[in-house]
Amino acid sequence: MTSTPTTADAATWDKARAAFAKSIMVDTPLSSLSADLDVPPWPVNAAEETPAAYIYLPYAQAVAALAARGLPPAQLGQLITILNETLAFDEPFGDMMDLASLAPDQVDEDSPLHKNMARLELPADFPLALSALSESTLELCRLEKVDTLGQFVSFAARLSPSVIVGGDFRGLLNALAQKDEQALARFLPFRPGAKGLHLLEGVALEARLLEGAARDAVAADPLSAPAPIRARVSRLVAWFPAEHDTLREAAAAGRPLGELVAALPDASLRPAVLGLLQPHLPPPPAPPKPRSFWSRLFGRA
């Protein structure tokens, strides 16, 4: 059933915008927020059309901001509904929720974040340690016993609006909330335009950690890669056994190694990705020995 439109007045607006001011969704486009709720679509579809564009404005200025976009004053009622219902998702149990009591892989399947993760076919058990999140964000997650992508989503869905997060914690959160595939690919081994996570993209995230000269060195000598990167590549190979088998079979069949990484859009990363993968691939088959003149003459191998 579609939500009943909210009648907007100054008091209702001030209450809604004050409550939303510290939400982790403050910079999420309203078109994305409305798409996850049982409300009409927000009429302006733009990256900058977010709650932050309105909630710091008093009632009269918010109405004027809507008018500048060609929207009537009544549109503020829908905005209030979106803010209130998004907060209801953000804080289903308020500060009474004890995050530490959650089962390790428990995820609220009704949360918009989890629904988006399911739509993108992101595996809940993918280790955050194999993501491109910064070490400070990973340390925060470890302190909260958040080790997998599913636990990250569960944790984020239950954060109180009074908690302010930033950095790439917020970056990944916004990417999941907006189903922004390009942004997801900055943090996860995600292939825009496809579903799920992938081995080549995971190794490419590791290659991005190397400077230009270091990338060239790894392409020439895979063992020159820093030990932590080689260890994570080994974990990625183990985590994607089917894709690893496909690469191994292609290499064993003599397919040019450059073709194995040709799907990566950033050509500058391909040599380093191939270098990081080489210890996990069989050597190419030896070329056949040339037959001697007498062998060719008498048809012997």
Q: How many CB atoms lie within 10 A of CB 82?
A: 24
State which of 166, 187, 208 marks the end of a domain. 187
Domain count, the chain: 3
| pLDDT, tens digit (0-9, with 9 covering 90-100), for 255-301 | 888 888 998 999 999 999 999 999 999 887 666 666 655 555 555 55
Q: What is the mean pLDDT of residues 9-38?
A: 84
Report d(CA 186, CA 203) in Å as an integer.
Answer: 12
- Look at residue 92 in the predicted model and tell me its pLDDT: 39
Is 274 within a domain? Answer: yes
Q: How many CB atoms lie within 10 A of CB 162?
A: 11
pTM of the full structure: 0.61
Q: Is residue 143 domain-shared with residue 176, that is, in the same domain?
A: yes
pLDDT range class, residue 18, cuts 50, 70, 90:
confident
| pLDDT, tens digit (0-9, with 9 covering 90-100), for 244-261 | 999 999 999 888 888 889
Contacts of 24 (CB under 8 A, 6+ apart): 90, 156, 159, 161, 163, 164, 165, 170, 173
The three-state (H, E, C) secondary structure of 11-37, written as one string? HHHHHHHHHHCCCCCCCCCHHHHHHCC
Report d(CA 138, CA 232) in Å as an integer.
Answer: 14
First vs last C-alpha separation in the chain: 78
Query: What are phi and psi for residue 166, nearest 5 degrees?
Result: -145, -165
| pLDDT, tens digit (0-9, with 9 covering 90-100), for 142-197 | 888 899 999 998 888 776 554 555 678 888 988 888 889 999 999 999 999 999 99
Q: Is residue 207 domain-shared with residue 274, that is, in the same domain?
A: yes
State which of 187, 218, 249 marks the end of a domain. 187
Q: Is residue 68 domain-shared with residue 108, that is, in the same domain?
A: no
- Look at residue 233 in the predicted model and tell me its pLDDT: 96
Distances (CA, A) of 198 to 113, 245, 257, 287: 21, 13, 18, 31
Domain span including residue 226: 199-280
| pLDDT, tens digit (0-9, with 9 covering 90-100), for 87-117 | 775 543 333 333 334 443 444 566 788 888 9
Is 300 within a domain? Answer: no
Residue 47, both tokens: 């990256």
